[in-house]
Structures are given as C-alpha cells and as structure tokens.
Structure 1
Amino acid sequence: MTPFKLTEELLTTIEQHIENQDNTALHTMMADYHYADIAEVINELDEDQATYLIKLLESEQTSDVLTELDEDVREAILGNLSSKEIAVELEELDTDDAADIVGELPKDIVQEVISEISDRKHARDIVDLLRYDENSAGGLMAKELVKVNENWNVLNCVKEMRQQAESVTRVHSIYVVDDEGILKGRLSLKDLLTASMTAHIRDVYIPKVDSVNVNEKPEEVAKIMSKYDLEAIPVVDEIGRLVGRITIDDIVDVIREEAEKDYQLAAGISQDVEADDSIWDLTRARLPWLFLGLIGGVGAAGIMGGFESMISKHAILFFFTPLIAAMAGNVGVQSSAIIVQGLANDDLKGSISDRLIKELLLATLNGLILAAVLLLFTWAWKGDFPTALAISISLIAVIIVAGIIGTFIPLFLHKRGIDPAIATGPFITTSNDIFGILIYFWIAKSVLGI
C-alpha cells in the first residue's frame, strides 16, 4: 500500500471537482482513500468546500472522518449541518466517539440532535457517557462490548454473543458478569469452543481480569494498559458493575496528547496551543515563561553588578559567564528530564534522598571531568593558573548545584500534585542561571582573594 501524500496538485484537483460539482469524480477519488486521508484533505479545504464534501459522501465513510478532523474544522462543518444530518453521522460511530462530538456541540442543539438518533439504545449510551468527566476513564470508554452472564450455559452464551457482536466493531475480550452486572472475569474463546454446550460459564471463565474505575485518570489507564500489554480494558463503576471498555486506539491518543502537553511545558508554553492558533492565543501561552526569563536575566545582571570591581580586575571572568550559565541550564534540564521521564513511566525507585545522593555523585564526576578540561584550556590560553583554577572550581560547584536543583524540583512538584514536566523548561534554566552566576562569582572571589 502506497502511503497517502496530499500534494498541491491533488488538492487543486479536488477543489476543482467541488467547484464544478463533479460528484462522480469525487466519489471515485474518495472511495480509494482511508478516512484519515480524507480528513487530511478536508482540513485543507475552506468551510464551504469541506461541508460540501461531507454532505456528498455516505455517513458510513464521513462519520469516521469527523473524528479525525481538527477541532475548529469539525466545529465549522457541524455548524453547517442540520440536527438530523449530525444524528445520522453519530449513528455510525462508536458511543465514545459520538459522545466526544456531542460534547463539542452548542448546548442548545444537543437535545435536538440526540432526539434525532433513531437507535434509542445508542442515544441512551451517548447520554450516559456525557455524564462523565472527559478527563476520566468514564469519559474515555465506549459502551460497545461483549458480556455474558456467569449463569448461562455455553449454548445460550454463543447465541447472545452473536447478537451483541453485531454492534461491536472489534471483539477484544468477552467479559463475564453476574446477575447484578458485577464484573467477575473474562472468557477465553478457546475454553468456550472446547467446553460442553451444556456447561455453565461460571465453570469455564477466568476469574482474574484487569479493570479500571470510571473515575480513574486516563494517564493511569495508559500506564496499566502499557504495563500489561492490553488491547482493551473493562471499566467498572463504584460497586464493580461493568459499564464499558477502553480500547488501545483511545489510549494512543491519550499518550500522544500527554506527550504534546509535556513537550510544550518543557519548551515554556503554558497552554495547549497549535501552530495555527491566533497570535493572541500563542502570546498568552508563551509570554508568562518569557517574562520569567526576563526576570531571571535581570537578576543575573544584578548579581554581576555586585561583582563589578572584581570583573574589572579580572576581565577573563566575564568571558566565561555565558559558559557557566549555559552549563548550569544544560545540567539542570538533563537532570530534570530524567526525573520527569521516570515519574511519567512510574519507574522511579527509592526515596528522594537516594535520588539526590545519586545525582550529587553523578554531577561531581561530570563536573571534575569538565573542570579538568576547562582548567587546562584556560591556563594554556591565558597563562593565569589561579584564575583558571577559580573558574574550574566554580564550574564543579555550579554543575553539582544545577544537578541537585534539576532533580529536586520535579520531585517536589510531583509531591504537590503539579505536573513535573514544567520543571524541564525555562523554570529550571532560569533558576540555574541565577544560582550559577551567583556561585561562579562568589567562588571566584573567594579563590582569588578579592
């Protein structure tokens, strides 16, 4: 299969077909495209063109397309569709995707759209999912699944499974419940096929099954599914009743969104923004951390001002100031990045003191190696051993302090319930710049006896 590539030529051809209302040509072209490829095309069309294409194609195809569109594009298209047309699209989607779209609709038309859905069970399931916080397992799950009662015999079980499977796109697991709907375990297809038709499910099902509560955070669900290599996981309510399932495709979206958020935080962007957002939105996301950097720069300048007389006597110290600041920032970011990654993967072992001691030893070793190289270079360059020694000792101290700060801050933020990813960006860099400059000139002053 050749990967789809949206070229200017292809986009122009599609736009011309839309302008000429050449529906036959559009149907022929789109028939060969995956719904994700069609979404990529629609994201590049203007609002009227995008709406025309959505209305032209069958809902079996366009329903999945809607889930792949950029939010602003989907919002614009839905605004041009009637409640009935939206309902037709929702009927083709799994309940989790349908609930996501309904949640984006204006409140004044939600009830109207729900009432237009002909499959009333599907409509009730969508409404039920809307009750859950979107940042929870309940808001992430779908209602489509296959479940059997532990009191059924195998023959009755197979008949019920056939009926349930008609509404399930892919059967990952068969879940077993009791008469109250409490999740009891899972059923192996192999065990089902090899069991006697008169045997009861309670005698052949596997009682051990991983599950998550409806209020569990999506990030925690992702960790569980990743740890146990699960393609799907059942979701239970507060009393253990089976209410839905979460599949791997939803978890991949969670992991991607979390990675994007952490990357933006590490880069000093405080809000979830995209390149196509307005200048005002981008400014609001970036300015707070840029302002922090400004304060840090002013603070560093003030510190240097306090050592003005020393700098005038030993001008070489001024030339190494950028190096000291850069090393402090780099070491801090490296240390914090390792800790943040460990926290995200839930694989940090030991106490905070153990982590700090390990980072202290690592920073000391790195500092000694780098300081030795810097000492030889500065001494050979200027022939001033005391000054070269002062700069090198300062570098060791700065690296050690930066490593400790880079380790401690994300651990501290995590303990306080704050996303530690924020510690890998300008926060660490700015704080280490200030501490680095202060330590640098203070040690240089002490060693040089000024």
Structure 2
Amino acid sequence: MIPFKLTDELLVKIEELIENKRETELASLLAEVHYADVAEIINELDEEHATYLLKLLDSEKTSETLTELDEDVREAILSNFSAKEIAGELDELDTDDAADIIGGLPKGIVQEVISEIEDREHAKDIVDLLRYSENSAGGLMAKELVKVNENWNVLTCVKEMRAQAENVTRVHSIYVVDDEDKLKGRLSLKDLLTTSTKTNIKDVYIPKVDYVNVNEKPEEVAKIMSKYDLEAIPVIDEIGRLVGRITIDDIVDVIKEEAEKDYQLAAGISQDVEADDSIWQLTKARLPWLFIGMMGGIGAASIINVYEGAFVKFPILLAFIPLMQATAGNVGVQSSAIVVQGLANDTIKGEVWGRLGKELLLGLVNGLALAFVFLFISHFGFDTSYLVSLTVGIALVTVIVNAAIIGTFIPIFLQKRGIDPAIATGPFITTSNDVLGILIYFSIAKVILNF
C-alpha cells in the first residue's frame, strides 16, 4: 500500500470539484481513500467546502472521518449539521468516539442530539460515558466488549458471543463475569474451542486478568498497557463490575497528547496550544515563562552588579560568565530530562537520596573532566594567570555539581507535590541554574582572588 500524501495539486483539484458540485467525480476520487486521510484533506478546506465534502461521503465513512478531524474543525462543521444528522453519524460509532464528539458540542443541543439517536441502548451507553471525567479511564473507555457469565456452559457462551460480537469492531478479549456483572477473569479462545460444549465456563476461565478502575488516570492506564503489552484492558467500577474496556488505539492518543504536552512544558509553554491558535492564546501560553526568564536575567544582572569591583582588578572574569551560565543550564536540563523520562516510564526506583548521590558523583566526574579541558584551553587561549584559571575551574566543577543536583531534585519534588515534573526540564531549570551559577562563580572568585 502506497502511503497517502496530500499535495497542493490534489487539494486544488478537490476544491474545484466541490465548487462545480461534481459529486460523482468526488465520490470516485475518495472512494479508496482511508477516512484518516479524508480527515487530513478536510482539515485543510474552509468550513463551507469541508461541510459539503463530509456530507457527500457515505454514513459510515463520514462518522469515522469525524473522529479524526481536528476538534475546532469538527465543531465548526457540525454547527452546520442538524441534531438528527449528528445523531445519525453517532449511531455508526463506538460509544467512546460518540461520547467524545458529543462532549465537544454546544450544551444547548446535546440533549436534542441524544434524543435523536435511534439505538436507545447505544444512547444510554453514551450518556453513561459522559458522566466520567475526560481525565479518567471511565472517560477513555468504550462500552462495546464481549463478556460471558461464569455459570454458562461453552455452548451457551458461543451463542451469546456471536450476538455480542456484532456490535464490537474488534474482539481483543473475552471477559468473564458473575451474576452481578463483577469481573472474574478472562477466557482463552483456544480453551473455548478445545473444550466440550457442556463444560461450564467457571471450570476453564483464567482468573488472572489485568484491569483498571474507572477513576484511574489515563497516564497510569498507558503505563499498565505498555508494561504488559496489552491490546485492550477491562475497566471496572467502584464495586468491581465490568463497565467497559480501553483499547490500544485510545492509549496511543493518550501517549501522543502527553508527549506533546511535556514537550511544550519543556519549551516553556504553559498551555496546550497549536501553531494555528490565536495570537492571544499563544501569548497567554508563552508569556508567563518569558517573564520568569526575564526576572532570572535581572537577578543574574543584580549579582554581577554587586561584584562589579572585581572587573577592575580581574576583567577576564567577565569573559567566562557565558561559560558558567551555559554549562549550568545544559547540565540541569540533561539531569532533569533523564529524571522526568524515568518518572514518566516508572523506571526510577529507590530513595531520592540515592538518586541525588548518583547525580552528584556524575556531576563531579563531568565537572572535573570539563575543568581539566578548560585549564588547558585557558592557559594557551586566554593567557590567564594560574590563579584565575584555577578559580574558573573550581567554579565550573561546583556549578556543574549544583546544576546536576537541582536538575534531579526539582522533578522528583514536583511529582511528589502532584505537579507535572516535565515543567522542570525547561526555563524553570535553566533560569534557576543561570542565577545560581553566577552567584557560585563570583562567590568562589571572591574567596580565591580576594577582591
């Protein structure tokens, strides 16, 4: 299969066909195009053309395409649909996707759309999902699954599974419940096929099954599914009843969103924004960290101003300020990035002091190596005195050790306080280490050079 690529030529052709209302040619052109690729096309069209094209598709493809659209594009397009038209598309979707779409609709028409859904059981499941927070396993799960009662025999089980499977796009697992719908375990398809039809399910099912609670955070669900290589995981409510399942495609979306959020935090962007957002939204996301960076710069300038007398006797000290700031910032970001990654993957084990001790030793080794190189370069490149070179070298080692400790401690501290540790990998660490690096540099210089 050749990967789809949206070109300017194709986009222009589609716009021309829409302008001329050549529906047959449009339908033929998009007949073999995957719904995710159709969504990519629609994301690039204006609202009028996008609405026209989406309504032209067959119902199943339209509904699947809706799930792949950018949220703002989808909301704009659906504003041109009637409540009955929206309900018709939701009838084709799994409950989790349908709930996501309804959750983005204006509150005034949500009830009207739900009342127009023909499959009342489907509508009931969607309403049930809407009561869960988006930031929970309940808000992520779908109601469609295959479950069997432990008291059935194999023959009854197979009949029931056939009926249930009609509403499930892909059967990942067969879950076993008791008469109160409490999750008991899972059923192996191999055991089902090789066991006598009269055998009770309770005699062959596997009691060990991984599951999550409806209130579990999506990030924790992702960790569990990643750790145990699960394609799907059942979700239980507060009293242990099986209420849904989460599939790997939903978890991939969670991982992607979390990675994007962490990347933006590391870059000093405090809100989830995109390049196409308004100037005001982008400003709100960026300005707070720029302000913190500016205050850090002012702090560093104030420290330098305190020691301005040193530049009269040792003007060469001024030349090494960027070295201290850059090294401190880089080491801090390196240490914090490793720790944040470990916290995200749940691979950091042991006590905080053990982790700090390891980073201290690592910082000392790196600091000594860089200081040795600096002493060689400064002697031949800058023609500085041995005392000044020794001062800068000692300051460099101290700054690196300090930055390593801060870069390790801050993410762990933030996580223990319930704050996303990814925030520590960006301007927060860089700014704090810049200021402390300057303070350490001049404090050591004052002691050794006696100015």
TM-score (norm. length: structure 1):
0.99
2:128 is matched with 128
Q: Distance in 1 between matches of 2:349 and 2:160?
A: 47
Alignment partners' CA distance in 2, 1:109 and 1:272: 27
Letter in 2 for 1:31: A
Letter in 1 for 2:274: E
1:230-269 correspondence runs (5 A): 230-269=230-269
How far off its partner does 1:303 sit?
A: 0.3
- d(CA) in 1 for partners of 2:194, 2:85: 46
The equivalent residue for 2:306 is: 306
**AA in 1 matched with 2:388:** T
1:206-245 aligned within 5 A: 206-245=206-245
Q: Aligned AA for 2:308?
A: E
Distance 1:449 1:116 in 2: 83
Distance 2:143 2:41 in 1: 30
Q: Residue type of the partner of 1:426?
A: P
For 1:89-128, what aligned pairs fall within 5 Å after superposition?
Answer: 89-128=89-128
- Aligned equivalents of 1:359 and 1:369: distance in 2? 15
**Which secondary structure does the structure 2 equivalent of 1:5 belong to?**
coil
Would you identify which runs of 4 or more consecutive aligned residues in structure 1 move more than 4 Å? Answer: none
| 1:445 CA drift (Å) | 1.6
Distance in 2 of aligned mates of 1:376 and 1:228: 52
What is the CA-CA distance between 1:383 and the residue it aligns to? 4.3
Q: Take 1:383 and 1:367, find their aligned partners in 2: how far apart are those partners?
A: 20
Q: Which residue of 1 aligns with 2:411?
A: 410
1:49 is aligned to: 49
Tell me which residue corresponds to 1:3.
3
Query: Matched residue pairs, number?
Result: 450
Secondary structure of 1:172's counterpart equals: coil
**Pairwise CA distance, 1:341:** 0.6
Cα separation, 2, equivalents of 1:92 and 1:142: 14
| TM superposition shift of 1:108 | 1.0
Which residue pairs with 1:289 in the alignment?
289
CA distance in 1, matches of 2:399, 2:259: 30
> Is 2:451 the partner of 1:447?
no
- Alpha-carbon distance, 1:62 to partner: 1.0
| Percent identity for Structure 1 against Structure 2 | 74
| Partner Cα distance (2:207, 2:301) in 1 | 66
Q: 1:446 corresponds to which letter in structure 2?
A: V
Distance 1:128 1:332 in 2: 46
Deviations 1:302-341 (A, max 9, x none): 1000110101221111011011100000000001111111
Provide the secondary structure at the position in 1 that maps to 2:309. Answer: helix
Cα deviation, residue 205, structure 1: 0.6
AA of the residue aligned to 1:42: I
**1:318 matched residue in structure 2:** 318
Look up the match of 1:179.
179
Question: Aligned partners of 1:312 and 1:261: how far apart in 2?
Answer: 47
Aligned ranges 1:195-206 → 2 under 5 Å: 195-206=195-206
- Cα distance in 2 for residues equivalent to 1:285 and 1:17: 40
5 Å matches for 1:5-20?
A: 5-20=5-20
SS in 2 for 1:399: helix
Per-residue displacement from partner, 1:96-119 (whole Å, max 9, x unpaired)?
000000011111111110111111
Give the secondary-structure state (helix, strand or coil) at the position aligned to 2:366: helix
Distance in structure 2 (CA, Å) of the matches to 1:81 and 1:315? 71
- Separation of aligned partners in 2, 1:383 and 1:248: 61
Match of 2:422 in 1: 421
Shift, 1:32, TM fit = 1.3
The one-letter amino acid paired with 1:269 is I
Cα separation, 1, equivalents of 2:436 and 2:77: 52
Give, in whole Å, the separation in 2 of the partners of 1:350 and 1:383.
45
* Distance in 2 (alpha carbons) for counterparts of 1:12 and 1:170: 37
**Which runs of structure 2 are paired with 1:12-91 in the superposition (5 Å)?**
12-91=12-91
Query: Displacement of 1:72 after TM fit?
Result: 0.8
Q: Distance in 1 between matches of 2:33 and 2:448?
A: 71
SS in 2 for 1:235: strand
SS at match of 2:337: helix
Any idea what the Cα deviations from partners look like across 1:212-257, whole Å, max 9, x if unmatched?
0000000000000000000000000011000000000000000000
Partner in structure 2 of residue 346 of structure 1: 346
Distance across 2 between alignment mates of 1:313 and 1:84 = 82
Q: Counterparts of 2:300 and 2:377 in 1: how far apart (Å)?
A: 26
Once residues 8 and 47 of structure 2 are traced to their aligned partners in structure 1, the CA distance between those partners, rounded to angstroms, is 18
CA drift at 1:385: 1.1
SS of the equivalent of 1:308 reads coil
Distance 2:345 2:253 in 1: 17
The whole-number CA distance in structure 2 between the counterparts of 1:197 and 1:352 is 56
Query: What TM-score, normalized to structure 2?
Result: 0.99
- In the TM superposition, residue 444 of structure 1 has moved relative to its aligned partner by 1.3
**Partner letter of residue 432 of structure 1?**
N
Partner Cα separation in structure 2 for residue 440 and residue 332 of structure 1: 16
* Secondary structure in structure 2 of the residue aligned to 1:368: helix
Distance of 1:226 and 1:155 partners within structure 2: 34
1:398 aligns with 399
What is the match of residue 363 of structure 1?
363
* Paired residue secondary structure (2:114): helix
SS in 2 for 1:210: coil
Q: Deviations over 1:183-226 (max 9, x none)?
A: 00000000000110111111111111000000000000000000
Question: Could you tell me how far apart the structure 2 residues matched to 1:253 and 1:312 are?
Answer: 59
Q: Hey, what does 1:170 align to over in structure 2?
A: 170
Counterpart CA distance in 1 for 2:233 and 2:277 is 35
Aligned-partner residue type, residue 278 of structure 1: S
